[in-house]
Structure 1
């Protein structure tokens, strides 16, 4: 195996595991532990690669550093179908194989096709609640369903509006997707007086310049399976959401939704990235040059990993929301001020790298590549 990307930051450990009984194949990449034990989710997909897991682990190194919590970065993957009938046995076998790392060097969490039930299996197999986060509440967990990530996206939006001198009361918001994360974002924004004028899902977009009622959106999504069943509003295609004139656009579902072929249609003043990688960095930069303020994904959606830290530390739901508010608000303000109207992602990455570099210097492990 040849890893194409490595540098002074890592990865520290790459471990491939296999179980002949279940045919489980897995990989763990611990990228960097200078700031603390490495944290990152487990994804279960049929085509996961070591290279992919490394890229995700590095992203977690920066995300955790920027969040200001004592976690390093890691990620792991299990090569199996998401609907595998023996998923529980596969996850148990994976936990047995990675027990030498957990929780001293690596703490798993939920990711694609892996949720609180699988986190329970990992914790039970390894024999300590610290072996996983995102566990069921009955095991002392703080499930992501509590809304920590969506709350963080709301806080980033609030700071971005303040930075742009736009009052949150009456600010118009368009939201792509209506899943677990952004439903909470919509709730908190509505409670602060913002006007959610458009929401999309896989079936299309529902739009009203007068604003959409949050409770009605939740009702039609639950009963009809789509927000497009919202009564008395205009129904558009899912793609048309990005062309709606608004103060804030929140991409909250799929990656790569703002591209070269539609970026010129975007009319938002602010874009807050709830989803991971909703556009490539060069698209972000091009939109920023047009005057749009963009809050990158790993700044805005870090509420989940902050929640994971509180759970790992034995904290409560109340303590979790308090820390998410403190960290997301502070970090968003810091990177927006640092960017000075320029490339916010670059400013955020520079801050994260500096925090990791400082930690590596303290433990004597930082050697700059020539």
Structure 2
């Protein structure tokens, strides 16, 4: 079985394959490690989903939740399907199949191609409003459409820029992906004075050395369905974004976008991992060797799970954003300082803290 290659001392504890005959919904759930609490992680909906991808993302959640000091373990799930299909039916069927698991063993949430309305359908299927976070506000939810992940990315980026001695004001930034994370990262970074010169989506990259206007780009995306319709700047292939001459690079879409094939094209001094596992580990090592500062996904994109935690305890949007500011800034600084003091890679510094916390919880079982 595919899973045999990645079972280790941390997990995964459970891999569940779901198939609903009525809706033809195919799904995967991975509960990686529940020492700190129920497996927490979102539901992505993509046509090319694999067990390996879901496991890797669940493992990231194990470490991310530990670093964020939350009472959650690591989990992740996904539906293998067309994001343009009947998402409500798929999510409802998926929720029904996971009724016995949620929220005691697995707590769902939004992820790629799923949002508040999909969480409504999921908890309807599961028969329990507590089966997922990221629900609509009329269900006392705190939807990810509030921009929590992008907000956290902006906070983390600001700390990294200050740590590198360049600050954010006028500093050039390129953002891969203009979905929920990318749009809000751009919004909050622009408000902090950063100069966003490039943004990409699945159709391509728009590069404007004089800086892109957030409101204009949002209008363009809404009207034309792509960032490429922006009134000025140069249109480039999507992949060209990673080689642009910018100070800060923010990969914010799919995993493994910076690999041995393009790592030598990267010119940025700082990389903030807004997406989960966007840089291959071997490429992270090469970049570290070149003196590039990398804020790992475990720290940079924790805004989403911090919002989820706030929802799970009945908190408000204001409390969530306050918690994100405090935890993300503190943890970014802690990891960057630890990496510098110990002459190690940022991911290694983050991982050593996370493993220590999970090990301590496992020892108490």
Residue 358 of structure 1 corresponds to: 360
Distance 1:80 1:179, change over 3 A: closer
Q: Deviations over 1:184-243 (max 9, x none)?
A: 111111111111222233343333333222222222222233333333433433333223
CA–CA distance in structure 1, aligned partners of residues 14 and 239 of structure 2: 41
Higher mean C-alpha deviation, range 11-20 or range 25-34:
11-20
Contact 1:289–1:342 under 8 Å retained in 2:
no
Question: In the superposition, relative to structure 1, how do residues 275 and 128 fare at CA in structure 2: closer, same or farther (>3 Å)?
Answer: same
Distance 2:315 2:219 in 1: 32
Superposed CA deviations along residues 73-106 of structure 1, whole A, max 9, x for unmatched, are 1122344444444x54443333233222211221
How far, CA to CA, are the matches of 1:46 and 1:219 in structure 2? 28
**TM-score with structure 2 length normalisation?**
0.90
Change (3 A) 1:113 1:196: closer
Seen in structure 2, the aligned counterparts of structure 1 residues 84 and 205 have a Cα distance that, compared at 3 Å, is closer
Q: In structure 1, how many angstroms separate the alpha carbons of the residues matched to 2:114 and 2:183?
A: 21
RMSD of aligned alpha carbons? 2.3
Query: Which shifted more, 118-127 or 344-353?
Result: 118-127
Instruction: Work out whether 1:237 is the aligned partner of 2:237.
Output: yes
- Check the 8 A contact 1:30/1:38 in 2, yes or no: yes
Alignment of 1:134-283 (within 5 A): 134-283=134-283
The higher radius of gyration belongs to 1
* 1:10 partnered with 2:11: yes
Q: Is the 8 A contact 2:250 2:271 kept in 1?
A: yes
Aligned to 1:41: 42
Q: How many residue pairs align between the two structures?
A: 362
Runs of 5+ in structure 2 lacking a partner?
Answer: none
- Partner residue of 2:75? 74
When residues 270 and 215 of structure 1 are mapped into structure 2, their CA distance, relative to the original with a 3 A threshold, is same
Alignment of 1:302-321 (within 5 A): 302-321=302-321
CA contact (8 A) 2:207 2:234 kept: yes
Distance 1:196 1:356, change over 3 A: same
Q: In the TM superposition, what whole-angstrom CA distance separates every residue of 1:303-341 from its partner, at most 9, and x where no partner exists?
A: 111111111111111111111111111111111111115
Q: Is the 8 A contact 2:177 2:199 kept in 1?
A: yes
CA-CA distance at 1:50 after TM superposition: 4.0
Counterparts of 1:33 and 1:193, CA distance in 2: 40
Alignment deviations for residues 110-169 of structure 1 (CA, whole Å, 9 cap, x no partner) = 234433223112323444321111111111111111100100110110010111011221
